[in-house]
Amino acid sequence: MDLSYILNHLGEEREGYHGAVSPPLMQSSIFAYPTVARMRTGFADEFAEHLYTRGNNPTVAILRKKMAALEGAEDCLAFGSGAAAISAAVFASIRAGDHVVCVARPYSWTRSLLRDLLPKFGVATTFVDGTDIGNFEEAITDGTRLVVLESPNSMTYEQQDLAAVARLARGRGIRTLCDNSFATPLNQSPIALGIDLVAHSATKYLNGHSDVVAGLLCGSEALLREVFKGPYMTFGAILSPHDAWLLIRGLRTLAVRMERVAATTMRVLGFLEAHPKIRRVHHPHATDNPQLGLTRRQISGASGMITIDLATDEVAAVERFCDALRRFLMTVSWGGYESLAFPVCAVFPPDAPLRATAGLPLSLVRLSIGLEDADVLIGDLAQALDKL
């Protein structure tokens, strides 16, 4: 199935809605049945039937079909946030006494789920440096049920060899979950590499307009039925039909947005890598990335998340740089049409030491490259770096 067909047509039954080009927003919590016999079949398989919008909704179903096709998965479930999608996948995969292996420094709320919440229910997690497959082998125990991956991971974009981890886990009957938000299904296909479940913060590139918080989980129908019967229906962290409708609209331009982001990002990367006031540029396609070979094997196009390590030992200088940016909005999240800057130092008090022994240096600023002209962004970065 070609990409344009998925984005423009798949899942849409226009003859059923008067030829409307934009699909109807089915803003209904319930779906009525003409007979008891029909209602009984609705109850028998809520995963496939339209009965109640906490389970299924026709507008959300269009999004699910498109997303499953993009990931090369049998099916997809839609959630009210990326965090909900990840939590549901994890909760469906473990029980008390189980052990989880997770890549070091995943998205903050993935870490919080595994490190802070799950120990209350008797589930322990070992965090490993995911750049070396040997670390997974070492961390896996007889009790390991799940491996949680995020490739590239948050802030510094270390990657895991997805095919190698999937092979290792499958051989031992361990389930794998990969957060694919950074690369998007256009640039990386974890399911084709053997990963069982793929999660997305659709808040980021998939929606792309900074106006929806959403999550998606892709996998086999059997696994997703397990998630559906468990955390999906019980926690009820679903995506509303309206937000699904907005996401379908966002997806229409996913391919052109990602192409534009990749081209702009490569130009901005070149500028940043040559700048004397930058100590290091973190990006999977950065020329000094020791994992560049893996990037070329595993990721097709560049995403627009770049983390720069400013050449300074003063938090005040980092603040001067960030405060001087005019075209980058300073906030959290990423993946929208607009360029963003997120300074790590904003999370800490102003007198925190810039290079604490553990954790990330406070000289890091994460940039999300949007759809602006590359020269505009480079010009803005150049003038702000002058203020450093």
Ligand X SMILES: *Cc1c(COP(=O)(O)O)cnc(C)c1O
Phi, psi (rounded to 5 degrees) for 161: -75, 95
Tell me the number of residues near ligand X by CB under 6 A: 14
Contact region with ligand X (CB under 6 A), list: 127-135, 175-183, 218-226, 374-382: 175-183
> Is the Cβ–Cβ distance between 136 and 101 less than 8 Å?
yes
Query: Least distance (Å) from ligand X to the CB of residue 198?
Result: 12
Instruction: Please spell the DSSP secondary structure of 289-323, one letter per residue.
Output: -TTHHHHHHH--S--SEEEEEES-S-HHHHHHHHH
Tokens of 309: 């390590």
Query: Least distance (Å) from ligand X to the CB of residue 331?
Result: 12
Nearest to ligand X of 58, 304 (CB atom) = 304
Contact with ligand X (CB under 6 A) among 154, 184, 207, 289: 154
Contact with ligand X (CB under 6 A) among 203, 289, 363, 368: 203
- Is position 190 an interface residue for ligand X (rule: CB under 6 A)? no
Site string for ligand X, 2-41 (x = CB under 6 A): ----------------------------------------
Query: Least distance (Å) from ligand X to the CB of residue 81?
Result: 3
Nearest to ligand X of 186, 354 (CB atom) = 186
- Region of 141 (left: φ > 0; alpha: ψ -120 to 50; beta: rest) is beta
Query: Least distance (Å) from ligand X to the CB of residue 157?
Result: 10
Element (H, E) at 340: strand 340-343
Contact with ligand X (CB under 6 A) among 11, 23, 42, 82: 82
Site string for ligand X, 83-122 (x = CB under 6 A): x-----------------------x---------------
> Is the Cβ–Cβ distance between 57 and 239 less than 8 Å?
no
> Is the Cβ–Cβ distance between 7 and 252 less than 8 Å?
yes
Nearest to ligand X of 205, 228 (CB atom) = 205
Closest by alpha carbon to 182, among 155, 161, 164?
Answer: 155
Contact region with ligand X (CB under 6 A), list: 38-46, 198-206, 323-331, 372-380: 198-206
> Is the Cβ–Cβ distance between 33 and 250 less than 8 Å?
no
- Is position 81 an interface residue for ligand X (rule: CB under 6 A)? yes
> Is the Cβ–Cβ distance between 177 and 89 less than 8 Å?
yes
Burial class (CB in 10 A: 0-12, 13-18, 19+), 377: buried
Query: Least distance (Å) from ligand X to the CB of residue 138?
Result: 25
Nearest to ligand X of 341, 385 (CB atom) = 341
- Region of 264 (left: φ > 0; alpha: ψ -120 to 50; beta: rest) is alpha
Strands 197-201 and 364-368 come out as unpaired
Site string for ligand X, 37-76 (x = CB under 6 A): ----------------------------------------
Task: Report the amino acid identity of residue 190.
Answer: P
Query: Least distance (Å) from ligand X to the CB of residue 326?
Result: 25
Tell me the residue number closest to ligand X, measured at CB. Answer: 82
SS3 128: strand
Burial of 291-328, coded b for 16+ CB within 10 Å and e otherwise, reads: beebbeebbebbbbbbbbbbebeebebbebbbebbebb
Nearest to ligand X of 58, 82 (CB atom) = 82
Query: Least distance (Å) from ligand X to the CB of residue 262?
Result: 18
Binding interface with ligand X (CB under 6 A): 81-83, 107, 150, 154, 179, 181-182, 201, 203-204, 213, 215
